[in-house]
Structure 1
Amino acid sequence: MTDVLLVEDDPLLREATQLSLERYGYEVRAVSDGQAGLAEFRERVPDVAVLDVMLPRLDGVALVRLIRAESRLPVLMVSARTDPVDVVVGLEAGADDYLTKPYDIPVLVARIRSALRRVTNTARSEPPEDDPVLRFGDLTVDTASMDVHRAGRLLDLTPTERRLVLEFAAEPGVVLSRMTLLERVWDYACGGDSRVVDVHVKRLRVKIGHERIVTVRGFGYKLAP
């Protein structure tokens, strides 16, 4: 059974979300503040975490940073804040996805399933018949192991970042639109926020080299061959 850590300070929303997710077959550990969420995470690492941004004792942004320092598990942030700055801050802290309140439970479930599929697909990727290692200057992408090296150094990438690199590496020089990346990497296009792509590309550039991913204004991104 999939273990979900839910950190939400609104008691009514926390209870309603927990009950709804349990009806979908998830095992849910629900707590009301960031410190309790951190304690639950460290006691037993969940399969996925759903964190509110505005939390007492330890806010969601600080919590996701602490989680990300110890684990690559998928993290979804939820918040009533819709300002682009808040979305960017949450994603740059290490969240894989960002969902604004009020949200429908089926949408939350779809996002959870999508996040879990990315992890599963990364773990189960099968090597191609030919050479699985793709090379782009000092960057090497092993499509069998999903390892990415830069100048011989293994990069610490999240599952989402690995999937993103793989999509770019599969079609070097080809412009991939934000909607295409949402559909391929996050498994959704309709209802997806393109800022999720922009922030993850920004984070990825820091790791693989800013010059490696080129922005094509009005279209999307491409990997420089």
Structure 2
Amino acid sequence: MMKRITVLIADDEAEIAELIALHLKKEGYHYVIASDGKEAIQAVQTQSIDLAILDIMMPKLDGYEVTRQIREQHQMPIIFLSAKTSDMDKISGLVRGADDYMTKPFNPMELIARVNAHLRRSLQMNQPAAAANKPIVEVGGLVIYPDQRTVRLYDETIELTPKEFDILYLLASYPKKVYSAENIFQHVWGEAYYESANTVMVHIRTLRKKLGEDIHKNKLIKTVWGVGYTFNG
């Protein structure tokens, strides 16, 4: 018997939460609605949540703090759905641990498409055989352990979000191969979207910072202008 997929909807706007719930129900998903950040954390602690859709500006605890607490114990996909629309808002959301970011007003069908893609990818990554078949990657001072989904650089553990890990592992597994932003998005997110290039760019930017490219002389991820990105280890 297949496991029931449960999605957390955390939004203090009841109409939006109910609209999302309606579309999730049509897809056959179970859902839990939280009207503030504390309720969202309680849901994660007491129920088996497979994916979270979080508003950022919520009462009691905002979406950033909810994400921080979730990430302490869980690697579920997190999608921010927010009225904050600037590029810096999106970058901040992704840096703080979200896997995706959509702005309000939004297209419910696009949101469901993204939910499906993230769940598909997450379920594949959680299959023991999937990680067991992937080799450890060692390049210079970088070591990537796919079974534990951990990264060490010069003997220091680097904390990455799930999507940052997947991007790094993809690039490092095939050094010198150039991936376009669209290729990376298709591999990591499992779907192609019109905003894919910008989403990948933001993740690459935060990944570079975490890898200390502003400190170390060697740049592990190289931009091939007009083409894409390659691992330069």
> Is the shorter-chain TM-score for this pair beyond 0.5, marking a shared fold?
yes
Select which of 87, 92, 105 maps to 2:90: 87
- Tell whether the 8 Å contact from 1:127 to 1:143 is kept in structure 2 after alignment: no
- Structure 1 position 22, deviation (Å): 1.5
Q: After superposing the two structures, state which structure 1 stretch, 83-92 or 40-49, moved more.
A: 40-49
Measure, in 2, the Cα distance between the counterparts of 1:178 and 1:102. 25
Spell out the pairing of 1:56-71 with structure 2 (5 A cutoff). 56-71=59-74
- Tell whether the 8 Å contact from 2:10 to 2:35 is kept in structure 1 after alignment: yes
Residue of structure 2 equivalent to 1:47: 50
Spell out the pairing of 1:1-225 with structure 2 (5 A cutoff). 1-124=4-127, 125=130, 126-127=132-133, 132-142=135-145, 146-152=149-155, 155-210=158-213, 211-225=219-233
Measure, in 1, the Cα distance between the counterparts of 2:61 and 2:196. 26
Measure, in 1, the Cα distance between the counterparts of 2:192 and 2:157. 31
Scaled by the length of structure 1, what TM-score is found? Answer: 0.87
Structure 2 residues without counterparts, runs of 5 or longer? 214-218
Scaled by the length of structure 2, what TM-score is found? Answer: 0.84
Provide the secondary structure at the position in 1 that maps to 2:230: strand
- Tell whether the 8 Å contact from 2:98 to 2:161 is kept in structure 1 after alignment: no
- Tell whether the 8 Å contact from 2:99 to 2:162 is kept in structure 1 after alignment: no
Measure, in 1, the Cα distance between the counterparts of 2:112 and 2:14. 20
Question: What amino acid maps onto 2:225 in structure 1?
Answer: R
- Structure 1 position 104, deviation (Å): 2.4
CA shift digits 1:40-92 (9 cap, x unpaired):
22222411000012212222122212222332111000112321111111111
- Tell whether the 8 Å contact from 1:118 to 1:163 is kept in structure 2 after alignment: no
- Tell whether the 8 Å contact from 1:182 to 1:189 is kept in structure 2 after alignment: yes
Alignment: residue pair count: 222
Evaluate the alpha carbon distance shift between residue 88 and residue 43 of structure 1 in structure 2; reply closer, same or farther with a 3 A threshold. Answer: same
Question: What amino acid maps onto 1:173 in structure 2?
Answer: K
CA shift digits 1:191-215 (9 cap, x unpaired):
3343322232233334444221123
Question: What amino acid maps onto 1:215 in structure 2?
Answer: T
Measure, in 1, the Cα distance between the counterparts of 2:19 and 2:200. 30
Question: What amino acid maps onto 2:226 in structure 1?
Answer: G
Q: After superposing the two structures, state which structure 1 stretch, 204-213 or 113-122, moved more.
A: 204-213
Q: What is the Cα-based RMSD across aligned positions, in Å?
A: 2.2
Q: After superposing the two structures, state which structure 1 stretch, 152-161 or 77-86, moved more.
A: 152-161
Measure, in 2, the Cα distance between the counterparts of 1:144 and 1:15. 38
